Each structure stands twice: as C-alpha cells, then as structure tokens.
Amino acid sequence: MDFRSISLPVSNAIFFIFGSDSKDTPEIKKGSSIWSTPTCIAVGCTPDVDGETKITIGASRQVGLEEIPAFDGELETPSRMVGVEVVPRKRVLEQPVPGSRTRVRIWVNHPIEPDNIVIGLN
C-alpha cells in the first residue's frame, strides 16, 4: 500500500473519511475535533482562511507516528476503498484497503486546529 499526501485549504475546517458509499456523517459536537460513525470519520482542521492542511494517508506501518493517535477506531469498508472528501463532497484522496473493515488511526499536530494530519490504515 503506497501512501499519498495532499496540501490544500479546507473549507469549513473539516474533512471526511469515508469507507463506503454511505454518507452517514457523524454529529459534530464541541469538545472534540474528531467524530465518527461506522462508515464515516469527520476530522476538524485548520480553517482555509488560515492556510493549508496537509493530509497523508497510507498503511500505519508506513505513515504512523510514535505518539498515541488522536483517534483509533474501525471503519466499515465494503468497497475496499477509503476516501477523503472535503466540502462540497469533493474527493481529494483515495486509498485501497484489503478488507471490509479497516482499523483507522489518526495523528494530528494540534488538538483543535491541526494543519498536519496523518491517517494510518490497517
């Protein structure tokens, strides 16, 4: 599994990680910057007016960091593809995965408005 990265201004300071065609987005609540459902993970990031956010996605063994991830959970991936989308539902990254359930770990460089986010899959 190769890793991919992109740097871009993110509208509304939030992007979504989808594991299926379902768009069952989580309810966004104060007090956190990562929210999830079984088919979607929403990640808060730097507002577009403050600059770009770098998003990296790949196998955890390739992209994972030493510190404890901000998120560690599972995503349903029946299509065996994980996609990263920004508003308005524009897919900016995709990563194939081997199974119908994928462990997702997310590392961020700031707890509220990170501008460097790493998504590890396995």
List residues bridging with 117 in a β-sheet: 55, 108
pLDDT tens-place string over residues 2-48: 899 999 999 999 999 999 877 789 999 888 899 999 999 999 999 99
**How much of the chain, in percent, has pLDDT values that exceed 70?**
99
- Tell me the DSSP string of the chain: ---EEEEE-BGGGEEEEESSS---PPPP-TT-SEEE-SSEEEEE--BGGG--EEEEEEEHHHH--SSPPSEEEEEE-TTSEEEEEETTTEEEEEEE-SSSEEEEEEEESSSSS-SEEEEEE-
Full-prediction pTM beyond 0.85?
Answer: yes
Output the six-digit token pair for 1: 């599994």
* CATH classification of the domain holding 42: 2.60.34.30
Indicate the number of domains in the chain. Answer: 1
User: Average model confidence (pLDDT) for the chain?
Assistant: 94
Domain that holds residue 88: 4-121
